[in-house]
Amino acid sequence: MMASEELVEPLGIEWVPSAKRHGKPSQLFSLWFSANLGMPAWLVGVLGPVLGLDLGQTLFAIILGNIIASLLVGLTAKAGTGQGLAQLPLSRSIFGRRGNYLPSFLNTLSAIGWYTINTAVGGEAMAKLIHIPLALGLFFVAAGQIALGYLGYDIIHRFERVMVYVQGVLFILMSYEVVHHLPRLAHVHAGNYGDFLLELAAVVSYSFSWAPYASDYGRYLPESTAPQRVFWATFWGTFLGTVWVECIGAVVGALGWGNLSPIGMVQNLMGPLTGFALLAIIFGTMTADAINGYTATLSLLTLDIPIRRTQAAIFLGAVGWLVAWLANSHLLSDYENFLLLLSYWVAPWVGIVLVAAHQGLINKDRALLAKGVDAAAIGGFLVGIVAVIPFMSTILFEGPVAKMLDNGDTGYYAGMLVGALVYYLLLRLRKSAALSHSLS
């Protein structure tokens, strides 16, 4: 018999015992679908026309990029099926306990960073919707998000399930308005391949940045859960939610509104129905940040900081709210550029996780007993990060290969492939050395 849901999650990053296992893989579909119905995915779609792509090119980049990214998120979730551990604690089985501090720190910084950016957008939408000061709008949004993080796993899943229907209705309204505006689209010449590669990278990076979160939301599933069901629920939830919202954003960008603020774009699209769109932004902020905040908490605990999960949820949520409140729009823009630069670390990490899964190295026993630093994993990770540099194209830095590709960004692919290859080769060398030692 499966355990019942709990109002306040008592566990932190401990292994989830069999008696506490509950839920079905289908809940992963609703969680990832709901989490992607928000303004961040919308802005990824807007970016294509802003870069100079026509609508057809942008839609192709959205579909192709989300197939790639959703596969990676699904495979990462599949690797953790039945293990009863969150993603970064489970990653100890690959990197070692202390070696895992680096990806855990990067994930904490990244997750709470995006939490802050989203809170700023959601707080502004709240302030405009009910005509209150921005500081109060930020507070209301942050308070709801902190409450979700404090309550934890089961309440987050319940919230995301409800939001599938609420957000679904709101985004159907937006989709109707998009169709209504289609006749106003002007003919645009196709963009170059560099701009296409840059939009494709933006699409891939947005969705596959969820990969270090993937097992956090299936760790209470029964040990008998089929890995394939976890994969497909994660894949389709991520793919369908993101593609839908990014396609809406692509049309908004093609209408020439890409230079407006997120709220300005919504007002132009929705007109007298703007209030419904502002609600969608607020709820979209909370569905994404419930996950950002919860994962940031688990990643922080993986650094072996002696703090309870509930305390960490309050602390990190308050930090995100405070930064969103104190920062001006220019500072938030610079911070967002920094977070986009930071996101490249996910590529070699995903490559290493997939190799480790193929080699049968990911399991709870290895993670719980892990000590020290795994040189092969850290070596592959660091080399993978270095391999990204020549291929990356960002506002803050552009590598030489990216310049040759007309500013096209292929850094994520280079980082993932090089990180995976170096890790695999180092594993082979270690096995060969161990075999030679045993025979001597």
What percent of the chain has pLDDT above 70?
96
Gap between the Cα atoms of 433 and 330, Å rounded: 53
Given pLDDT bands bounded at 50, 70 and 90, which one contains residue 1? Answer: very low
Q: Is the pLDDT of residue 368 over 80?
A: yes
pLDDT reported for residue 196 = 92
Query: Which H or E element spans position 154?
Result: helix 153-181
pLDDT reported for residue 395 = 80
Gap between the Cα atoms of 130 and 325, Å rounded: 18
Residues paired with residue 398 on neighbouring β-strands, in sequence order? 393
- Model pLDDT for residues 285-295, shown as the tens digit of each residue: 999 999 999 99
For 357, other C-beta atoms within 10 Å of its C-beta total 18
What's the predicted TM-score (pTM) here?
Answer: 0.93
Gap between the Cα atoms of 364 and 85, Å rounded: 7
Gap between the Cα atoms of 263 and 110, Å rounded: 24
Gap between the Cα atoms of 355 and 374, Å rounded: 14
55 close to 188: Cβ distance less than 8 angstroms: yes
Looking from the CA of 197 toward its CB, the CA atoms found within 13 Å total 20
pLDDT reported for residue 326 = 86
- Model pLDDT for residues 414-425, shown as the tens digit of each residue: 999 999 999 999
pLDDT reported for residue 92 = 97
Q: Whole-number mean pLDDT of the chain?
A: 92
Gap between the Cα atoms of 170 and 192, Å rounded: 34
Q: Is the pLDDT of residue 340 over 80?
A: no
- Model pLDDT for residues 68-110, shown as the tens digit of each residue: 999 999 999 999 999 999 999 999 999 999 999 999 999 999 9
For 248, other C-beta atoms within 10 Å of its C-beta total 20
Indicate the residue type of 362. Answer: I
Size (the chain), residues: 440
Cα–Cα distance list, 281 to 268, 289, 363 (Å): 15, 12, 38
Gap between the Cα atoms of 257 and 266, Å rounded: 9
- Model pLDDT for residues 387-423, shown as the tens digit of each residue: 999 999 888 788 999 899 888 889 999 999 999 999 9
Average pLDDT of span 181-207:
85
Q: Is the pLDDT of residue 335 over 60?
A: no
Gap between the Cα atoms of 421 and 348, Å rounded: 10
The three-state secondary structure class of 398 is strand
